[in-house]
Amino acid sequence: MGTPVPRTWLAGAPRAGGATTTHDLHDPNTGEVLQTYAFSSDAQVDDVLAAASAAHASGVWAEADPAERAAVLTAFATRLEGVADRIAELDALNSGVPVRFTRMFARSLPDTVRRAVELAQEQAARRWLEADGRSVQLRHVPWGPTALLLPWNAPAAVLVKSLAYALVAGAPVVAKPSPESPWSAEVVAGALTSAGVPDGVFGLVHGGAHVGGLIAADPRVRAVSLTGSTATGRSVAATAGGNLTRLRLELGSNNPAVVLADADVPATARALVAGFTKLNGQWCEAPRAVFAESRLVEPLVEAVVAEIGRIAMGPSTSGDTTFGPLAFAGRKAALEDQIERMVAGGARRLAPLTTPPRGWFLSPTLLLGDDVRLPGEVFGPVLAISPVPDDRQAVAAANALGGGLAGYVFTGDEERGMQVGARIVAGEVKLNGTSLLDMARDSAQSFFGGSGLGGHGDRDVLEFYAGKQVLGADLLDPAI
């Protein structure tokens, strides 16, 4: 399978990266260097931002009839159907996530775009308000050029969703993939361009923190959507704050799982293993810290180890693999350092799987102890398990992690689980499961604590890309 060369997309055409800075991309299954590519130059970044600003000022997209925008996005969805398998193969090689899962994500992308169109049509760009016979209108006005700073763990899925909702809201987009996973963005850019998006309304740049900083600091950028680490989110917020740029930050989270005394241990073990190994553990809502009723800890650990033993570890490009390598060498090194720090702090380590001799493989790892302290944000197949005497202390320990994207409660009593879950500070709390999917079609969750700003329900995402303006005939009484 050939791999595309990451290029800067400007005015509907790709151009070779112009920076002297280059980046190596490796096969995470072997460690072999697959490609060396050049980042976008500062001048190219400026050109793309200028094109987005000019496109917004012209009104070619922001002031287009919503039906015109919908038609382009519908054509985009159709083109994504034809390249879904290609996207899946590239993401499996870039991220290490097994192709059986990247294929599921890639094949869902057309419906993601169609859902954005559907919600925009429901919302309507403008509607008349009740105003005692006066003409008063509520309008949704796109902020302006919007930057998408994208992650490496689900590159196409996050790009397409963010892109679809920004575009359907009328905002021009400048996208920057992670330097570790740029390939599928090339395919998405080609599909969108061929769907007829006007010049300047979409641009693609490549680079690391330097390029991200240029974009976040630029006053022409009126909104930034970032999916990434907490450290990156803080940096972007500090950089963009001087311009009062609108921010949506989906960051990391050490998500807690509370196991109550009446939990079904085998079922809990299956769900925990499915959750903390999903996307090879590279999932921002994966359970990271388990607080289990004391007498359940030993049987729970035994059951979790047995479940890990059923995992099919192997190359991410194999259809038989259910658990692949980490995405890149630096991620593995950082995770191994965190594990060693927890062991040095007194935790007992269990790593049940034997890993291949090459590549960035890491066995799903348990850290056990009376009070395992996670050393910062953990992002990989690591699960800490600690005993607690009762529900109250379990919730206190869960919330001491700082609030998060998700939480989990395992119990045989749903009503009790709802009561416990309501006390966990997280945007989404699931009972007896760790599915990656939303629990309901209109689910909406906020990013609590250090896990970010904003939320990621579909309607929340659509709302982010545009502001509300009230336009109409004012009240006639000058006294108030």
DSSP string, 362-413: ---EEEESTTPPP-S---SSEEEEEEESSHHHHHHHHHTT--EEEEEEE-S-
Helix 99-123 × helix 66-95 angle, to 10°: 160
The pLDDT assigned to 1 comes to 57
Q: Which of 132, 134, 131, 178 is nearest to 154 (CA)?
A: 178
Quote the DSSP letter at residue 261: T
| Helices and strands of the chain, counted as H and E runs | 13, 20
Predicted confidence at residue 125, as pLDDT, reads: 65
Per-chain mean pLDDT for the chain: 95
Rounded to two decimals, the pTM is 0.95
pLDDT tens readout for residues 27-73: 999 999 999 999 999 999 999 999 999 999 999 999 999 999 999 99
CA distance 478 to 239: 43
**Distance, CA of 194 to CA of 72 (rounded, Å):** 9
Mark out the alpha helices in 96-154 (DSSP H runs): 99-123
Q: Where are the beta strands (DSSP E) in 50-166?
A: 126-128, 136-142, 146-149
Looking at this protein, which amino acid is placed at residue 280?
Answer: N
CA distances to 74, 199, 312 from 66, rounded to whole Å, are: 12, 18, 47
Average pLDDT over residues 225-249: 95
The 10s digit of each residue's pLDDT in 359-379 is: 999 999 999 999 999 999 999
What percent of the chain lies above the pLDDT cut of 90?
Answer: 88
Give the model confidence (pLDDT) of 411-467 as tens digits.
999 999 999 999 999 999 999 999 988 888 888 888 888 888 998 889 999 999 999
| Alpha helices per DSSP H over 227-328 | 230-241, 265-276, 297-308
Nearest Cα neighbor of 160 from 90, 201, 105, 198 is 105
pLDDT higher than 80, residue 479: no
What is the enclosing helix (H) or strand (E) of 23? strand 22-26
How far apart (Å, rounded) are the C-alpha atoms in residues 260 and 130?
A: 50
**pLDDT (tens digit per residue) in 172-193:** 999 999 999 999 999 999 999 9
Cα 424–425–429 angle (5° rounding)? 60
Q: How far apart are CA 208 and CA 22, in angstroms?
A: 10
Q: What are phi and psi for residue 12, nearest 5 degrees?
A: 80, 10
Domains and CATH numbers, the chain: 7-251+447-470 (3.40.605.10), 255-431 (3.40.309.10)
Distance CA(325)–CA(317), nearest Å, equals 11
Distance CA 69, CA 192 (A): 12
* Interaxial angle between packed helices 155-169 and 66-95, expressed in degrees from 0 to 180 and rounded to the nearest 10: 170
In this structure, the strands spanning 255-259 and 404-410 are parallel
Q: Are strands 223-227 and 202-204 parallel, antiparallel or unpaired?
A: unpaired
Coil vs helix vs strand at 225: strand
Which pLDDT band, with edges at 50, 70 and 90, does 130 fall under? confident
**Contact residues for 67 (Cβ-Cβ < 8 A; gap 6+):** none
Helix (H, G, I), strand (E, B) or coil at 286: coil
Helix (H, G, I), strand (E, B) or coil at 79: helix
Residue 98 clears pLDDT 60, i.e. is over it: yes
- Let me know: does 191 contact 19? Beta carbons within 8 Å: no
Question: In the numeric block, which tokens belong to residue 105?
Answer: 């994500």
Return the H-helix or E-strand segment holding 214.
helix 209-217
Mean per-residue pLDDT for 311-338? 97
CA atoms within 13 A on the CB side of 453: 15
